[in-house]
Structure 1
Amino acid sequence: MAAPANAEQTQLQDMEEDGAKVEEREMDSDEEEDEEGMRVENSDEEEDDSSEDEKENEAEIQRLEEQLSINAFDYNCHVDLIKLLKQEGELIRLRKARQKMSELFPLTEEIWLDWLKDEIRLTEEESNREKVYELFERAIKDYICPEIWLEYAQYSIGGMGSPGGIDKVRSIFERAVTAVGLHMTKGQSVWEAYREFENAILSTLQPPPGKVPRNEEQELIKTQLERIHTLFRRQLAIPLMDMEATYAEYEEWSEHGVPEAVAHQYKKALQQMEKCKPLEEALLVAEPPKLAEYQAYIDFELKVGDPARIQITFERALAENCLVPDMWSKCTKYLDRQLKVKDLVLSTHERAVRNCPWTMSLWKSYLLALERHGADHHTVSDVFEKALNAGFIQATDYVEIWQVYLDYLRRRVDFSKESSKELEELREAFSRCLDYMKQDVEERFGESGDPSCVVMQIWARIEALHCKNMQKARELWDNIMTKGNSKYANMWLEYYNLERSYGDSVHCRKALHRAVQCTTDYPEHVCDVLLTFERVEGSLEDWDTAVQKTESRMNRINEQRAKAAEKEANQARQEEERVEQRRKVKAEKKGLKKDQRGAGEKRKAEQEDQDEWNKDSGPKRRRGNVDGTTDEYMETETGLFGRNAPRTKPSAGLKKVPPGHGDAAEKQIDDKSELRDDCCSVFISNLAFTLQEPEATLKALFESCGSIAQVRPIFGHRGVFRGYCYVQFESPASVTEALKLDRREVEGRPMFVSPCVDKNKNPDFKIFKYNTSLEKHKIFISGLPLSCTKEQLEEICKQQGTVKDVRLVTYRSGRPKGLAYVEFADETQASQAVLKMDGVEIEGHKISVAISNPPRRSVNEKPGSSRPVTDMMPRQNYGSRGKGRTQLSLLPRSLHRQAAGVGKVENGTAAEKMEGTVNTTGEPRTLSNSDFAKMLLNK
């Protein structure tokens, strides 16, 4: 009975298991359906996300294309567009974008390699290799890059099966080792690839094992072996990194060992490599752009004098510093003066202006090189037209480039002929130049760029000397004089010399008579020239006329000068009276404040003085007065003693004087005044009132400048530090070192250090440390975030060149204004920084960058001051190229007002004169207390 039971049990278990399996299958199918549904939902979501991304990318692509249609020279915009098109897989549009960028700019190694690899993949389907070869030829002309040459050679190996394919591969490899084989670190890879190619060909020529090669085959094998031997010998004669491994490989490969001549060349190259190794190691550890390291490398190679190595070193430096005009200038100058190979020289000049088109000197050198190497006239004219559209940052650059082109045209003219096509072209170019200066340059920069009319002077000399056309020369000089040059003696004398050389005495006399009437800068000199001319060529009547005119003119000039001197003396006298009046008012106010102090405050102050005297000097010494009071004897800064002495904290080095020693005390005061020598002292201001122990702090700060005689902090009536002091040194030489600490931060505030000058004796003495003229090597940055530090800004600017100094502009409290001045090593780096940094965002703030050109400081000086009043420096309204403005107007809006005067400039800012400070006679008047009260109430 047990067996059937077990059978039933087993059957039931099997049925339960089958049911469980069915349920599991049903559950699995349900889960699969759920997973499938989730996959469908996820795929839908991914499709939606991808479609949204595609829409956003397409919108961004269209925006970039529109921006390039407006400004085709926006380099970053080109790069962003290429990246987006590559991401979207838009191959046709990507090819057009790369083509357009390559026409305007040299492409970097990375952009070229991406483009070449994409085109190589496309040509595998089209079987059209010639287009890729053309693209490679364009790529190797932009920069000398070993990676591009290696890619070019490897690609050509794929076509070695075609007729002449092997010879073409060898030709490309030979060009590659010629171009980059001397590259110390990357040239070895090209040599090795060349040898591997020849070894592969050798393997195809080897007969199968056991077969004896025929004579023809033996000759081919021998020739191929000699090719490989030659490659080893050539490579080992060049100093390259890791050349020891190549020598070991040659020893192993060569059946007969390394020849003695090859070993000798190898040792010589190895010695050269050891000399260059420190320079290469310096390049490896340096951070881009490695400008100083490359310059040291170039100087080393120039001393050695190997032209090929000098050229490859220049090319390596230019590949990493392609936007540094000075590097291009040095390279082209070397090629012009040393190598003088036409194709190499002209191609380098072309690459230079494509990389730095804003640099006029590079275009100038290019035009001269084209003429020097006999380029056709059409080519020279095309290059000149491109230069005019390059976007120079100064008006004078356009004048200079025009002068270079006009000189070229003048050298083409054969002046032995009365008229020729070249002469007419020269005259048309002069006329076009004058129109260009008037219409384009003046409108763009607000100035002519040629105030002395040098171009017209040259044209006039050419007409007079070569064309014998004095009538045209006189017309040109009339135009020169009408452009504001008639007041200058040197311009009249230039015209006189021209007439003297190529004209006649009648026009010479006429020019000198006009000069006497018009000249304002050096009229005596013009008068002397006229009298000398009449002594040599004039009649008695001419002499009398000349004497009469010169005497009349000089009398008027002397009267004007006397009036100007008298006016200046009156102004100086009035200024002295104002200073004296202000001093009296100040003294009266000070006395009034002293009288208004309460009796309780006086007693408290006297008690403090008594306590301090008791503490420092033991028992008090008093002098009895008639009214029964007593006076304490104490030396002060003012030299007063007793009850009427101001209650100031005793200065360092000053001692209390006991009663009964008045004469000694007065002598001690004289000694102290002798110690306060202005030539050995500096004045410190803008210190924090809360500065603890200012004497000890400043001693520690200035002890590095020299031996300190004393530090005198100035305290108020209640013993509160007033934020300024005097530091006296033992030697005047220490003052120079101390002035270098100006603007040093002390507890968060910039400390002002200036020479110690008595303002009562020198009321006009002012200090303005920073330059106020056009500084081409320095840029001005505005719109900076207030949190930007000097180190952060220096790091940002280092990408554009060598930064010599960074100065953040701050308020007197040390709080930043969002402005800064950055000084570069030269003006080309500063110009490049303007082009690259203007409009860049820093921490969400869009900055503006311009060449530093602050307004002059001596604007509308004090009335009556002896210093002349000068106008504001005219602003340089530079044009734009690429990314917008290259110059900002730093002139405050208040200075543009014609009615309002401008006050005296202090600490680099201009303060407007307050209304009501000028009376009806035009002279400034002193403001009363009620005037100040009205101004405060009006606010």
Structure 2
Amino acid sequence: MEEEDAGMEEREMESDDDEEEEEEEEGMGVENSDEDDDESSEDEKENEAEIQRLEEQLSINAFDYNCHVDLIKLLKQEGELIRLRKARQKMSELFPLTEEIWLDWLKDEIRLTEDERNREKVYELFEKAVKDYICPDIWLEYAQYSIGGMGSPGGIDKVRSIFERAVTAVGLHMTKGQTVWEAYREFENAILSTVQPPPGRIPSREEQELLNTQLERIHTLFRRQLAIPLMDMETTYAEYEEWSEHGVSEMVIHQYKKALQQMEKCRPFEESLLVAEPPKLAEYQTYLEFELKEGDPARIQITFERTLAENCLVPDMWAKYTAYLDRQLKIKDLVLSTHERAVRNCPWTMGLWKSYLLATERHGADHQIISDIFEKALNAGFIQATDYVEIWQAYLDYLRRRVDFSKESSKELEELRGAFSRSLDYMKQDVEERFGESGDPSCIIMQIWARIEALHCKNMQKARELWDNIMTKGNAKYANMWLEYYNLERSYGDSAHCRKALHRAVQCTSDYPEHVCEVLLTFERVEGSLEDWDVAVQKTETRLNRINEQRAKVAEKEANLARQEEERAEQRRKTKSDKKAQKKIQKGSQFGEKRKAEPEDHQDEWNEDSEQAPKRHRGNGDQTTEYMETETGLFGKSAPPGYKPGPPAAKKVQLGVAAAVQRQNDDKPELRNDNCSVFISNLAYTLEEPEAKLRTLFEPCGPITQIRPIFSNKGNFKGYGYVQFESQVSVPEALKLDRLEVEGRPMFVSPCVDKNKNPDFKVFKYNTSMEKHKIFISGLPFSCTKEQLEEMCKSHGTIKEVRLVTYRSGKPKGLAYVEFANETQASQAVLKMDGMEIEGNKISVAISNPPRRSVMDKPGASRLTTDMPRQVYGSRGRGRTQLSLLPRSLHRQSGPTNKVENGTTADQVPTTASSTVNTAAETKALSNSDFARMLLNK
């Protein structure tokens, strides 16, 4: 009683002190307290407004993850415990929660739940938490919380049960599993202390058995832990040596060393995870590859779980994990729970829902469960229309497998038909409204339905109704759709409907009418009468004639458009060249004025001995006309009196030996013979000793007279040249080397033909009209070889030639031409191969129809279709930097002429400076002084 009275007095004194402190605070800081209250009330109002805004936003879009997180933080900050609990529950129903969110929620609930009767609610919450992710910290918290209830009936067994589940789930975690094992041993050690007799007292038989049993439990935990590769397992082994009275057995040592070796193998991966930045996906993938090679299912599973705990929004990782469980472990509870977690984390991924449906069917789940999963998938919000088609196909396949078609009617069959009908309505109403497209343009679902009705239900009338519906949805123009329907009638229908389908196909098909016409004629050959044959021939001929007329009109229209585009391009080039010429003329005029202003003495500063020095000739006046000597004489058409060109040897020193050899060959036209020559091009500019290389390549074709590689003025090889043989017989052999690879580039070999003398010579090697026996393939992977393509196509017919299209450098374009023995084989290849995937590339296949070349109607005419034919120059062409130094007065003169350089004639030559000079020279000879006056005329 005295102690109680003393305690009461002490509490009263403390209360008096508190009251004095409160009075003192009120007397000294009333204003500050009011300000704090105002600020806190303002913050509360702002937080409440933000909470209401977040709740309103979630009512509109419940799948806003970040909005859920922000709302939970604000409610926890405000202490709104009831609203906080509801917010967390709502979020957990829609999303799996992270480890941090779960631990925060669990700790709050543990503090709030003091009553023993409410512990079951916390246990239920823990059970939800451990299902979202495999997290060691959550399991450890679960086990430690259960220890608090060990005093209740069956409490110790429940704690052991939770610990066993924990070590099974996360005991293999390389870095965090050790903490769970240690907590389990501490619990068993605590139990051991309760069963040990007091010191000095001999235990009874029952007590000794209980003691031995508890000691064995601890021994077993040590042995189990040491058999698992965990970080810092050496410390655990030392602890076991110290704890065990009889030492460590050889079997335990053996298992420990084996686990230690495994741990050393995994150490580099664990260290890379420690230093990597989240989410560490690349490091985890490398770790997974290692574990998959090792092949330990338990370690593979824990590695997947660790990866997904930090990469929960990576659908490919979930797909890889679920596929491993489906094919390797095949444990029902584990497989289905993992599939459920996958779709909760990545609900937008159709592939995960499809795998989930298959897994539930594979493990014999109830029909209602599978149907509920499918309905959830429809509401998941896929990102493309085709995803809905695929998930419907998966569900319809499941329903079809449930039907016993030996019965004429059944509940399952009616459910299947109802699901097919519902899927079509869903595609039309929901998918098309959302995406603006059906997602099933080829009506695959209806095709499957029609085939089921024909094959299993023997209901051809329903199948025909479905195909009529398919054709009305824009598929009547495709040959493959009609042939699919024809094959269905061929298999399950009758000849009359087969004939009717083919007649409709001939009238409607626009992509491959030749093929359906051929199928109709083949059908009548086998089953039709003479009258049927005549009708088929008449219909096919009429249809093909109409098709050819339409194609001709389209081709003509395309040619006109191409011609117009070429004309516009040429006009742009002409305008650009005119501007350049005008600038050159202006620059030449400025140069003349500058020379006129220079003193007379400076004109003698040129080195008269240099071949590059300008030759001067003084006319009748005081002006001086200058001429620049080139390899063909003086620049210009008229040379001054008494001019003699310098020796060619002086040129060789400046331009280089290679260019000089080329000029020597050019100066000997009598040695050339185009009939015995071939033109070589597309060689590498860096080709060393091109003449020797070409001789090595072409000597097997026959005796060689000369080889003329072409060099630039600087002596660099220009990548082309000529090879002349002694006999014309060698030319066809040389042409066989066309596109031979030379130092990584295809060498082009073509006949050496003067196009001016042979206007009918066709430059383009390949046909430009439709080739019905040949197919064109695009979208090929660049790694595809000729042999692979031939192997791919040979199942559709006899292959005559395969040609891969490449750039001039030899790199592939992803295009190819394949020539078959006849048109039927080519059409069949198009139908079978179009849309096929090769190494991840979706290829397109069509009948070869090369575009028309933009050329004039006249054979051999110039490619440029403009009103001004291009200027004809000499055999060496016009220099790139050649300037027109003629006076502007000559440019103003005009007159037609047919005379051009080198004695070559043309139908029409444009009125240019060179042609005007020739005309002026024919009418009246001009002196040098006349030229000087015109040059200085402004």
Report the Cα offset of residue 633 of structure 1.
Answer: 3.8
Change (3 A) 1:660 1:504: closer
Read off the aligned partner of 1:110 and give its amino acid letter: E
Could you say if the C-alpha distance between residues 498 and 615 of structure 1 is closer, same or farther in structure 2, counting changes exceeding 3 Å? farther
1:332 — aligned with what? 322
Alignment of 1:869-908 (within 5 A): none
Alignment partner of 2:70: what SS?
helix
Relative to structure 1, is the Cα distance of residues 470 and 197 closer, same or farther in structure 2, using a 3 angstrom cutoff? same
Q: Which residue among 454, 465, 471 is the counterpart of 1:464? A: 454
1:141 aligns with 2:136: no
Query: Contact (CA 8 Å) 1:621, 1:659: kept in 2 or not?
Result: no
User: Alignment partner of 2:317: what SS?
Assistant: helix
Deviation at 1:45, TM superposition (A): 1.4
Which residue of the other structure, out of 300, 308, 326, is the alignment partner of 2:298?
308
Determine if contact 1:367/1:383 at 8 Å carries over to the other structure.
yes
Paired residue for 1:222? Answer: 212
Number of aligned residue pairs: give it.
654
Where does 1:12-51 land on structure 2 (aligned, <5 Å)? 39-51=29-41
Shift in alpha-carbon separation, 1:567–1:286, aligned structure 2, 3 A: same
The equivalent of 1:624 in structure 2 is 616
What's 2:285 paired with?
A: 295
Summarize the Cα distance change of 1:477–1:605 in structure 2 as closer, same or farther, 3 Å threshold: farther
Q: Aligned match of 1:583 in 573, 578, 592?
A: 573
Q: Does the CA-based 8 Å contact 1:623-1:659 persist in structure 2?
A: no
Could you tell me which residue of structure 2 aligns to residue 358 of structure 1? Answer: 348
Q: How far did 1:663 drift?
A: 6.7
Residue aligning to 1:96? 86
Asked if structure 1 preserves the Cα contact closer than 8 Å seen for 2:611 and 2:629, the reply is no
Residues 267 and 464 of structure 1: CA distance in aligned 2, closer, same or farther (over 3 Å): same
The answer (yes or no) to whether the contact 2:658–2:715 under 8 Å persists in 1 is no
Match of 1:520 in 2: 510
Gaps of 5+ in 1: 1-31, 645-656, 683-707, 713-730, 736-760, 762-772, 774-861, 867-939
> Shift of residue 677 of structure 1?
9.1
Within the alignment, does 1:387 sit opposite 2:377 as a pair?
yes
Report the CA distance between 1:208 and its aligned residue.
1.7
TM-score by length of 2: 0.65
Distance 2:62 2:648 in 1: 90
Cα 1:408/1:35, change in 2 over 3 Å: closer
Asked if 1:416 is matched to 2:406, the reply is yes
Residue 258 of structure 1 corresponds to: 248
Shift of 1:394: 1.0
Q: Note if contact 1:464-1:470 (Cα within 8 Å) is conserved in structure 2.
A: yes
Deviation of 1:535 after TM superposition, in Å, equals 1.0
Instruction: Please list the CA deviations of residues 23-58 of structure 1 after superposition, one character each: whole Å capped at 9, or x if unmatched.
Output: xxxxxxxxx999865522222211111111111111
Aligned pairs for 1:472-551 within 5 A: 472-551=462-541
Report if the CA contact (8 A) 2:611-2:650 is conserved. Answer: no
Distance 1:616 1:183 in 2: 93
CA distance in 1, matches of 2:491, 2:302: 53
In the TM superposition, what is the alpha-carbon distance from 1:711 to its structure 2 partner?
15
Q: Name the CA distance, whole Å, in 2 between partners of 1:605 and 1:353.
A: 87
* 1:579 Cα deviation after fit: 3.7
Percent identity among equivalent residues? 78
Aligned to 1:231: 221
Equivalent in the alignment of 1:131? 121
**Within 2, Cα distance between the matches of 1:574 and 1:110?**
69
Q: CA 1:631–1:541 in structure 2 vs 1: closer, same or farther (change >3 Å)?
A: same
2:886 aligned residue: none
Inter-partner Cα distance in structure 1 for 2:176 and 2:259:
16
2:190 is the counterpart of 1:200: yes
Q: 2:365 aligns with which of 370, 375, 393?
A: 375
Identify which of 259, 268, 272 aligns with 2:262. 272
After superposition, residues 110-189 of structure 1 pair within 5 angstroms as: 110-125=100-115, 127-189=117-179
What is the alpha-carbon distance in structure 2 between the residues aligned to residue 658 and residue 49 of structure 1? 103
Asked if the contact 2:615–2:629 (Cα under 8 Å) also holds between the matched residues in 1, the reply is no
Deviations 1:382-401 (A, max 9, x none): 11111111111111111101
**Greater RCO structure (CA 8 Å; 6+ sep):** 1
Give, in whole Å, the separation in 2 of the partners of 1:216 and 1:465.
75
RMSD over equivalenced CA pairs, Å: 3.8
User: Structure 2 vs 1, CA of residues 196 and 552 (structure 1 numbering), >3 Å: closer, same or farther?
Assistant: same
How many Å apart are 1:428 and its aligned residue?
1.1
Residues 681 and 47 of structure 1, relative CA distance in 2, 3 Å threshold: farther
Contact 1:516–1:526 (Cα < 8 Å) also in 2: yes
**Residues 530 and 240 of structure 1, relative CA distance in 2, 3 Å threshold:** same
State how far apart, in whole Å, the 2-side matches of 1:98 and 1:453 are: 44
Give the structure 2 partner of residue 67 of structure 1: 57
AA aligned opposite 1:43: S
Q: What is the CA-CA distance between 1:279 and the residue it aligns to?
A: 1.2
Query: Kindly tell me: are residues 564 and 600 of structure 1, through their superposed partners in 2, closer, same or farther at Cα, counting changes over 3 Å?
Result: closer
Q: Which residue of 1 aligns with 2:310?
A: 320
Displacement of 1:570 in angstroms is 3.6
Question: Displacement, 1:204?
Answer: 1.0
Structure 2: runs of 5 or more not aligned: 1-21, 638-644, 664-679, 687-713, 719-741, 747-763, 765-778, 780-850, 856-938
Q: Does 1:79 align with 2:69?
A: yes
Distance in structure 1 (CA, Å) of the matches to 2:595 and 2:327: 83
Q: Secondary structure at the match of 1:491?
A: helix
Name the residue aligned to 1:562.
552
Q: Partners of 1:606 and 1:46 in 2: how far apart?
A: 95
Contact 1:181 1:190 survives alignment (8 Å): yes
Quote the offset at 1:73 in angstroms.
0.3
Q: Is the 8 A contact 2:559 2:854 kept in 1?
A: no
Tell me if the contact between 1:632 and 1:642 (Cα under 8 Å) persists in the aligned partners.
yes
CA contact (8 A) 1:237 1:265 kept: yes
Give the drift of 1:287: 1.2
Matched to 2:384, the amino acid is Q
What letter matches 2:449 in structure 1? Answer: W
> Structure 1's 531 and 258: CA in aligned 2 closer, same or farther, altered over 3 A?
same
Q: CA deviation at 1:211?
A: 1.8
Q: Which amino acid aligns with 2:615?
A: R
Look up the equivalent residue of 2:242 and give its one-letter code: E
The whole-number CA distance in structure 2 between the counterparts of 1:542 and 1:863 is 39
* Paired position in structure 1 for 2:877: none
**3-state SS of the aligned residue for 1:625?**
strand
- The 1:565/1:664 distance shift into structure 2, 3 A limit, reads farther
Query: What amino acid is the match of 2:311?
Result: N
Q: Do the aligned partners of residues 589 and 58 (structure 1) sit closer, same or farther apart at CA in structure 2, a change above 3 Å counting? A: same
Distance 1:574 1:670 in 2: 43
Distance change (3 Å), C-alpha of 1:711 and 1:540: closer
CA distance in 2, matches of 1:194, 1:333: 33
Task: Quote the residue 1:211 is aligned against.
Answer: 201
CA distance in 2, matches of 1:379, 1:617: 104
Cα 1:512/1:152, change in 2 over 3 Å:
same
- Using the TM superposition, give the Cα deviation of residue 664 of structure 1 relative to its aligned residue in structure 2, in angstroms: 5.8
Amino acid at match of 1:349: H
Superposed displacement of residue 304, structure 1:
1.5
* Alpha-carbon distance in 2 for matches of 1:203, 1:249: 18
Residue type at the aligned position of 1:197: F
- Give the conservation status (yes or no) of the 8 Å contact 1:176–1:190: yes
Query: What does the per-residue CA deviation read over 1:397-447, in whole Å, with 9 as the maximum and x for residues that have no partner?
Result: 111011000101111111111111111111111111111111111111111
Offset at residue 210 of structure 1 (A): 2.0
